[in-house]
Structure 1
Amino acid sequence: MRWIIGTAVAGAAALTLCAGLIVADGLTDEVRPSDVAVVLGSKVNPDGTPSPRLAARLGRALELYRAGVTPRILVSGGTGIEGVPEGTAMKRWLVSQGVPDAAVIVDDQGVDTRATARNATALMRAHDLRSAIVVSQYFHIPRTRLAFAQEGLPGVGSAHPDYFEPRDLYAIAREVPGYASYLLR
């Protein structure tokens, strides 16, 4: 019985440590001049407007664009149950905020983090873009950067929006096995 309890305590401690490292890494932005900001998708409302979480990501990318850190923005996402392609909706929002249409690259096939990394690196090559900053929630940044490195684009910068909600606790717990599965790819 002591062995079972000891193992459970050790496992919980390891998961907590891993989660803490993921959060610390994700909250440490690495913003530097780059060719493009890559915004990962999230829920789009049925009317085509971004959810608050997605609007926060787009707002962070808009800050980078307006500050001259990135001259282009690549938006990537799939189509959720709402039936609205995330990339298209994200571009519409950015253009409504004054970003020129030509400065936004759309990937509507970024159905998950790995697909976004794969598609974004291919689109970057096609547009002769060599450096990127990924924009997502803080807990998602480490796995996203790992996916980009696995697709041949190491050293990707990162930026997270200042948007936090209670469901982040679930998302952080989910990122521990998610990161491990990407690491073991």
Structure 2
Amino acid sequence: MKQPMRWIGRIMISIAGLVLLCAGLIVVDGLTDDIRRSDVAVVLGSKVNSNGTPSPRLQARLGRALELYKGGWTSHILVSGGTGIEGVPEGTAMKRWLISKGVPETAIIVDDQGVDTRATARNTSVLMHAHNLHSVIIVSQYFHISRTKLAFSQEGLTGVGSAHPDYFEARDLYSLAREVPGYAGYLLHR
């Protein structure tokens, strides 16, 4: 009876070690910005408040994209998200925020159908072709960068740069734990 329990224990420790290794790689990748001149910065959506304003997390993403735009790293910003329980389309709310910060409406592309990372990648590919854009920087939280780059690659968008905002909260631990199986799921199921 002791021998099978030892094997089960070893297997569980090995699995836990693998998960921690994967989480560590996701963190390193996400915290290592790959900023390059690109046609468009894609901001992935997050919660919008019921009054139509972006949540602090989403404002941090938008602020990072704004820095890239004002710094001349990108000429367009594509905002992508769905509509949460608040009833406000994320892309539309993000566009309003960017306009309020001085970004011309002509430099903003809205995707209100980016209900998840895969949809954002798919929609970005279509919108980039429609607007004759060829290079992209994704902007999201550090723990979300790896899976987003994978999804973009699976949609034929290669050489994707990335940038994360300096916004951290306790919830990131939960989000990081979700990203390990999330990444594996995207890797296995296109």
TM-score over 0.5 (shorter chain): yes
Counterparts of 2:171 and 2:100 in 1: how far apart (Å)? 29
Is 1:5 aligned with 2:24? no
2:43 maps to: 39
**For residue 108 of structure 2, what is the amino acid of its counterpart?**
V
Paired position in structure 2 for 1:141: 145
**What is the rounded CA distance, in whole Å, between the counterparts of 1:155 and 1:182 in structure 2?**
18
- Opposite residue 79 of structure 1, the aligned amino acid is T
1:20-62 deviation line (CA, Å, top 9, x unaligned): 0000001010000000000000000000000000000000000
- % of aligned pairs identical? 76
Matched residue, 2:114? 110
Deviation at 1:154, TM superposition (A): 1.2
Partners of 2:35 and 2:48 lie apart in 1 by 26
Q: Write out per-residue CA displacement over residues 150-170 of structure 1, whole angstroms, 9 at most, x where no aligned residue.
A: 000011000000000001001
Choose from 69, 89, 92 the match for 2:96.
92
What residue identity is the alignment partner of 1:90?
Answer: M
Correspondence 1:71 to 2:75: yes
Structure index of larger Rg = 2
Which 4+ stretches in 1 moved above 4 angstroms?
none
Partner of 2:19: 15
The one of 46, 61, 67 equivalent to 2:65 is 61
Tell me which residue corresponds to 2:162: 158
**Superposition CA RMSD, Å:** 0.4
Deviation at 1:121, TM superposition (A): 0.8
**How many pairs does the alignment contain?**
185
Give the TM-score normalised by the residue count of structure 1.
Answer: 0.99
Aligned to 1:125: 129
Q: Offset of 1:99 from its aligned partner?
A: 0.2
Name 1:179's counterpart in structure 2.
Answer: 183
**With structure 2 as the length reference, what TM-score do the two structures score?**
0.97
What are the Cα deviations for residues 58-100 of structure 1, in whole angstroms up to 9, with x where unaligned?
Answer: 0000000000000100000000000000000000000000000
Name the residue aligned to 2:105: 101
Q: What SS is found at the alignment partner of 1:81?
A: coil
Matched, 1:28 2:32: yes
Counterpart-to-counterpart distance in 1, 2:154 and 2:10: 36
